[in-house]
Amino acid sequence: EAGVAQSPRYKIIEKRQSVAFWCNPISGHATLYWYQQILGQGPKLLIQFQNNGVVDDSQLPKDRFSAERLKGVDSTLKIQPAKLEDSAVYLCASSQRGLAVQETQYFGPGTRLLVL
């Protein structure tokens, strides 16, 4: 079974530029999560999708961050414009049903973003 795929693996941009990250979850997984992990901290949930609907985006900075999962499969996370404090690893995870809270989430390798 293929795991969660993410691209790119690394990205360096200047502040005020825009950037987009892509995630392809495990086939058949209904729930997709985007986490932000700042150096030295644990991951923080940005947004959770159930199929193509948003379940939780309470910690997403909506003035600059946006995410979509149009067909309920892969997803894109965008930052526009980027700030220095957005430098972090962006992790994507998926789970089979998601609303069954005892499930394991499977994580991708992450995209490391550096904003200069």
Partner 1 sequence: KQEVTQIPAALSVPEGENLVLNCSFTDSAIYNLQWFRQDPGKGLTSLLLIQSSQREQTSGRLNASLDKSSGRSTLYIAASQPGDSATYLCAVVWGTSYGKLTFGQGTILTVHP
Interaction of residue 27 with partner 1, rule CB under 8 A: no
Of 82 and 98, the one with the shorter C-beta distance to partner 1 is 98
The full DSSP string for 47-87 is: EEEETTEEEE-TTS-TTTEEEE-TTSS-EEEEESS--GGG-
Restricting to residues 93-112, name those near partner 1 by CB under 8 A: 93, 95, 98-110, 112
Of 17 and 26, the one with the shorter C-beta distance to partner 1 is 26
Interaction of residue 36 with partner 1, rule CB under 8 A: no
The full DSSP string for 89-105 is: EEEEEEESSSSSTTSPP
Among 91, 94, 113, 115, binds partner 1 (CB under 8 A): 91
Closest CA to 25 of 38, 6, 48, 11: 6
The answer to whether the CB of 37 falls within 8 A of the CB of 21 is no
Restricting to residues 51-90, name those near partner 1 by CB under 8 A: 55-56
The whole-angstrom separation of Cα 62 and Cα 113 is 18
Contacts with partner 1 by CB under 8 A: the residue count is 30
Q: Which residues form the interface with partner 1 (CB under 8 A)? A: 4, 31, 33, 40-45, 48, 50, 55-56, 91, 93, 95, 98-110, 112
